[in-house]
Amino acid sequence: MREELHNLRNEALALIQEAPNSQELESLRIAFLGRQGKINQFLKELKNLPQEEKKQVGQLINEIKTTLEKAINHKSFTPQPAVNQKLDFDPTLPGKKPPQGHLHLVTQAIEEIQRIFTDIGFIRVRYPEVEWDWYPFTSLNMPPGHPARDEWETFFVDAPQDSKYGKMVLTPHTSSGQVREMKRLGKPPIRMINIAKCYRRQQDMTHTVMFHQFEGLLIDKNVNIPQLKGVLDYFAQQFYGPKRITRLRPFHFQFTEPSFEVDINCPLCLGKGCKTCKSGWHELGGAGMVHPNVLKAGGLDPQKYTGFAFGWGVERTYMMRSDIKIDDLRLFYSNDIRFLEQF
Ligand code: PHE
């Protein structure tokens, strides 16, 4: 019987030691120490023993009982969250900041460009990315079959054609918003800044299939080229810094007359010419005075109104300012967090 009792004790202690939670522990307590428990079974058998043994075995049973009670009462489950955490928590320590993200650099650039132009009265709009051919081409003095259309390596959408507006395209430039804005407002003054996604069949170091442009359009009575130049210089100074100015270089677009390419002076030599820029100037984008045919397409009288327009790429505009050299435009859209984190 003694041996059985020793075995019982060892078994019980091992089970208590390993009990994973308080429910298990409670069922062990019932199994060993409860009224129908194993210890009580032994106590019942005690009366069959001779007087001498009865005393000793009785003592042993009582010892085992207290040992098991102690083991159960002192059993702790690790981890003991409530107690330990309370002791470890120091409310005076500064908090740990979770990592904080930021807007994509193109979104940052768009917001800044929008602010610069809305500060001087332009109104931010955006027009459809999937557009009728008429808006980016025909309404801009480029009828179907006109060779100038080739410049805008356009994606055509496989969709039914409209009798007036023609095929559907993914808009290849924000100039598609010019006539839309004239039609929306009906009459000048028009001061539009249209910033939107554009699509062209192109993909290399300096081009992506999808990119962004911003387009300014101002139409009113007596709008002239010096005003265009003033707005462009204002933008150059706001976006690139106080010493930057623009230069208009004669060019050709079907939808402006006269037309210009807009250059900005080099940040290093400010236009004098240096090793990095050679000519002193970097090309920014296109601009010009709105062609009379475009005003007519928008329902405006070219005898009464004149206007200017300008437009160019958001990504390129940003690249030309960035302190961190971005030599591949495709990085903007490769979703590499190591690249994006730098801005
Ligand atoms: N839409 C022209 C382009 O994508 C740029 C431009 C805009 C030129 C407005 C003149 C006036 O190249």
Q: For residue 192, which phi and psi values (nearest 5 degrees)?
A: -105, 140
CA angle 180, 182, 186 (to 5 degrees): 120
Mean pLDDT of 265-279: 93
Q: Does residue 258 surpass a pLDDT of 80? A: yes
Q: Does the beta carbon of 311 lie inside 6 Å of ligand 1?
A: yes
pLDDT in tens, 298-325: 999 999 999 999 999 999 999 999 888 8
Q: What is the pLDDT of residue 7?
A: 87
Residue 235 C-alpha from the chain's centroid? 26
CA distance 254 to 10: 98
Query: Distances in Å between the alpha carbon of 209 and those of 107, 111, 136?
Result: 18, 22, 17
Mean pLDDT to the nearest integer, 187-197: 97
Residue 150: per-residue pLDDT = 94
- Compute the distance between CA of residue 57 and CA of residue 43 in angstroms, rounded to an integer: 9
310 lines ligand 1 (CB under 6 A): yes
Rounded CA separation 29/6 (Å): 17
Q: Where residue 291 falls among pLDDT bands split at 50, 70, 90?
A: very high
What pLDDT score was predicted for residue 226?
98
CA-closest residue to ligand 1 atom 4: 173
Average pLDDT over every residue of 171-186: 98
Q: Is the CB of 71 under 6 A from ligand 1?
A: no
Kindly list the distances between the CA atom of residue 176 and the CA atoms of 126, 170, 195, 226, in Å, as whole numbers in the listed order.
10, 11, 11, 24
Residue 282, beta-bridge partner list: 264
Mean pLDDT of 106-121: 97
Does the pLDDT value for residue 100 go beyond 60? yes
**Per-residue pLDDT, 123:** 98
Least Cα distance to 205 among 334, 330, 339, 312 occurs for: 330
Atom in ligand 1 nearest the alpha carbon of residue 312: 5
Distance, CA 311 to ligand 1 centroid (Å)? 5
CA end-to-end span of the chain: 80
